[in-house]
Amino acid sequence: MVEIKDLVQSGDWSKEKHVPVIEVASAAKGKPVSVRISVGSQIPHPNTTEHHIAWMELYFLPEGSRFPFQVARFEFTAHGASTEGPNTSTVFTRPETSCMFTTEKSGSLLALAYCNIHGLWQASAELKLT
């Protein structure tokens, strides 16, 4: 039987254009945690009708918890298509986004990105609250 965990890929985001990059701007106990997620920060990911990042999700696993919380889901829906055909629009969304959440615990941030051709990619980062 195939399991989803066997289909999720990872890599070094500085060498692989599909890996999500997680950046934490601030992290203090009881204060909003500001997180930015992007794909293709070192090597640009194509954003065409035929090849694009369709969505990203952010999860947080607090220390000592068994299951993560889904913090956010972002969908990118403009990839150059129009009624005239593929790549004929001037509107292309970029796979970059940010969000804020609060927590009382440190833990792990986990991001997933879905490329319509190359599947699921993951990254993680530690969240240490001050």
74-115 pLDDT, tens digit each:
999 999 999 999 999 999 999 999 999 999 999 999 999 999
User: Is 18 an annotated catalytic residue?
Assistant: yes
Rounded average pLDDT over 61-72: 97
Q: Which long-range contacts (CB under 8 A, 24 or more apart) does 77-86 make?
A: 79/47, 79/48, 79/49, 79/52, 80/47, 80/48, 80/49, 81/49, 86/48, 86/49, 86/50
Query: Which position among 17, 52, 57, 79 bears the catalytic label?
Result: 17
Say whether 79 is catalytic: no
Catalytic residue among 45, 52, 57, 79: 45
Residue 52 appears among annotated catalytic residues = no
pLDDT for 10 = 80
Q: 70 pLDDT exceeds 80?
A: yes
Domains of the chain: 4-127 (2.60.40.730)
pLDDT of residue 17: 85
pLDDT, position 51: 95
Q: Determine the Cα–Cα distance for residues 104 and 130; give it in Å rounded to an integer.
A: 10
Active site residue 99: no
Question: Of 52, 57, 79, 115, which residue is the catalytic one?
Answer: 115
Separation CA 64–CA 17 (nearest Å)? 32
